[in-house]
Structure 1
Amino acid sequence: MRVTRLLKSLAIATALCAGAAQAQVSVMLPANPGGGWDSTGRQAFQAMNDAGIYTGTVNFTNKGGAGGTIGLAEFQRAEKGKADALAVFGAITVGSITLNKSPVDLSKFKPVARLTAEHLVLAVKADSPYKTLDDFVAALKSDPGATAVGGGSAGGVDHIALALLAQSAGVAVPKLNYIPQAGGADTVIGIVNGTLKAGISGISEFQQFAKEGRIRILGITTAERMKGLEDVPTFKESGYDVEVANWRGILGSVDMPEANYKEWVERFSKLSESKEWQAVLDRQGWDGYFLPGDAFGQFIQSESTRINQILKDAGLSK
């Protein structure tokens, strides 16, 4: 009898170990492949794997549109209560929820970790007549409707940055010709083929194209000039009171079991301290902006208030 019980216990333990070995997580990337959210999610989990923090299977799903609200709405609905379901999102989402009247409710998700901050750059075609940010602003003042600018979703951080630049330059925000793009690569294509006079996006989405000589970066939204882009002046340096960054982070599913939630917060905390993640930050030009768990939840609440007030002040929402 004792031998039988022992064999049963060993069988159960073996099954549990096999299940752990086959662990997998599903990750919603609410954007098209190749953009900032896509890169954040994939590279975070690659670094986590390289560091031995989580080495199980990761199933990524890309579902772009409307500033991440389409993918997050599906995530909110379909992944409710699931133990290992995560989603990438960021500052863009907050304003997009308001402008798209989205059913997404950020307060219902589990706030796992804020990971990065990325400042924005404004770029034009390499042979554009706009040689400086002042040149571009002059064109914007002269005829804002004819100065098409591409960027992320309406109400996102790119749109907000352009609105703040316009306000600082005395240009009426409602007159801006802002054209949302599916991703950073699409914005570059629009700049190069001439359908856009300029584009605004995160550094990582434009930097390589600038190195290839396809576009010229006119300004950056940092407080000081950035390492690696020392020849690019800040918006403030050029006389425009604009400093803004696009932060990105990880959400857990609605009603994620508490034990799983704590485990993911711990995993991302370990990731933030790893040399593998630091290498990703250095390579991508991202700033480490880590904030775990409940502290991240409080940050999301404060950012929702701040960003929605900016949208109202800029006349982009009521």
Structure 2
Amino acid sequence: MEQRGSPATAPGAARSRRWTRWVPWAVALLTTGAVVATAPAANSGAGSTAQDVLGGEQLRIMAPAAPGGGWDQTSREMQGALRELVGRSEVYNVAGAGGTIGLSQFVRFGDDPTQLMTTGLIMVGAVKANGSEQSLADTTPLVRLTTDYQAIVVPADSPLRSTADLIEAMRADLPAVSIAGGSAGGVEQILAGLLAKAVGADPAKVSYVAHSGGGEALTTLLSGRSAIGISGVSEIQPQIEAGTVRALAVSSPDRLPTVPDVPTLIEGGLDVELENWRGVAAPKGITDEEEQALEGLLVDMTRTPEWREALERRGWGDATLAGPEFEEFVRSEQERVSQVLDEIGLG
């Protein structure tokens, strides 16, 4: 008999969860819009609690990337915010290929409700770019947590000092403008392609250097092996404040309170906007009751003072979305990102 927590070759029969409501959701790449968060009330009725589901076992959270990046930050902020709700939890890292290596391991947990994985837009793109056999369809999406924007940065001694300089350089010799960022097919490479398209160049000719984490991309940038870097604002903010790098622009529709002196790409003359999102998934084979209890736990977590403080400190947007609405959002994102990657020559 297969034991809980052991890898499973198949997650079991498909769940027949009853859909009580459906809310269309899209985070557009090139249009602005306010983020509206919806979520079911957590533990508001009969049913198992998270403590029942965990059965005294410790919750384990996989960050499918190297330490220091957005998924790692999210996982560790979750760990702190969950402490008062479920006690101690464990965060561990499985880096590589935009999260798809971690995903390939995570799906083997089968029906174990003590296992969670942080995920997001980067993984959706990486699944297509890497030809992964697994996708988020092989998990149970629980809750979307945050949104974040990207920063375009250069070393402090770079001759590029503005978006105008970047436009000129990309138009003059696109392949010479090497760009360091995260995994292939991820949000950073999507933004690189959109930048090339916006300046009238061929996105397929972008010289993009992919990395498994933001720390590695920063090392490449500072070593001079890349001309510019693209990173989540929350990840690169300490280096911006320290003067290690100079931010040319952010991908948000308006300036961000965490880096108020950095203009948007739109201000610099490029009609480009891109928003990243992060969330949490469980193994595919968990029961409906376990799914609802874990969703309730995570929604409760988003209401804790610890989580609210983390959002403010990191500059993350609160994008809480749970249940069937999040599952539908993930499905729509898979279709949308696939289309965008094809359009910019990255499919």
Q: CA deviation at 1:31?
A: 0.3
Q: Which moved more, 1:152-161 or 1:57-66?
A: 57-66
User: What does 1:71-82 correspond to in 2, within 5 Å?
Assistant: 71-77=102-108, 79-82=109-112
Q: CA deviation at 1:33?
A: 1.0
Greater helix share, 1 or 2?
A: 1
Query: In the alignment, what sits opposite 1:147?
Result: 177
3-state DSSP of counterpart to 1:210: helix
The one of 74, 99, 110 aligned to 1:40:
74
The one of 156, 160, 174 aligned to 2:204:
174
Q: CA deviation at 1:20?
A: 6.9
CA distance in 2, matches of 1:310, 1:124: 26
Partner deviation per Cα, 1:50-109 (whole Å, 9 max, x = no partner) = xx2221x323221111110000111012x1111211111110011111111101131231
Is 2:79–2:91's contact at 8 Å kept on the other side of the alignment? no
| Cα 1:257–1:165 shift into 2, 3 Å | same
Q: Structure 1: which amino acid aligns with 2:61?
A: V
Is 2:63–2:91's contact at 8 Å kept on the other side of the alignment? yes
CA distance in 2, matches of 1:162, 1:47: 34
User: What does 1:209-220 correspond to in 2, within 5 Å?
Assistant: 209-220=239-250
Query: In the alignment, what sits opposite 1:54?
Result: 86
3-state DSSP of counterpart to 1:301: helix
Query: In the alignment, what sits opposite 1:156?
Result: 186
User: What does 1:19-38 correspond to in 2, within 5 Å?
Assistant: 22-38=56-72
Q: Structure 1: which amino acid aligns with 2:276?
A: N
The one of 95, 98, 103 aligned to 1:67:
98
Q: Which moved more, 1:216-225 or 1:81-90?
A: 81-90
3-state DSSP of counterpart to 1:201: strand
CA distance in 2, matches of 1:18, 1:94: 31
Q: Report the number of matched residues.
A: 297
Is 1:28–1:72's contact at 8 Å kept on the other side of the alignment? no
Q: CA deviation at 1:21?
A: 8.0
Is 2:147–2:275's contact at 8 Å kept on the other side of the alignment? yes
Is 2:79–2:90's contact at 8 Å kept on the other side of the alignment? no
3-state DSSP of counterpart to 2:86: coil
Query: In the alignment, what sits opposite 1:268?
Result: 298
User: What does 1:178-189 correspond to in 2, within 5 Å?
Assistant: 178-189=208-219
CA distance in 1, matches of 2:52, 2:167: 61
CA distance in 1, matches of 2:125, 2:282: 20
CA distance in 2, matches of 1:19, 1:173: 47
Relative contact order, CA 8 A, sep 6+: which one is greater? 2
User: What does 1:1-318 correspond to in 2, within 5 Å?
Assistant: 22-49=56-83, 52-55=84-87, 57-77=88-108, 79-317=109-347
Please, which runs of 5 or more residues in structure 1 have no aligned partner?
A: 1-16
Q: Structure 2: which amino acid aligns with 1:70?
A: I
Is 1:150–1:190's contact at 8 Å kept on the other side of the alignment? yes
Q: Structure 2: which amino acid aligns with 1:68?
A: G
CA distance in 1, matches of 2:137, 2:214: 28
RMSD: 1.7
Is 1:82–1:257's contact at 8 Å kept on the other side of the alignment? no
Q: Structure 2: which amino acid aligns with 1:150?
A: A
Partner deviation per Cα, 1:129-175 (whole Å, 9 max, x = no partner) = 00101101211111111111010111111110111111111011111
CA distance in 1, matches of 2:267, 2:243: 24
CA distance in 1, matches of 2:169, 2:69: 28
Q: Structure 2: which amino acid aligns with 1:61?
A: Y
3-state DSSP of counterpart to 1:262: helix
Q: Which moved more, 1:268-277 or 1:61-70?
A: 268-277
3-state DSSP of counterpart to 2:281: strand
CA distance in 2, matches of 1:185, 1:19: 36
Q: CA deviation at 1:228?
A: 2.8
3-state DSSP of counterpart to 1:53: helix
Is 2:54–2:113's contact at 8 Å kept on the other side of the alignment? no
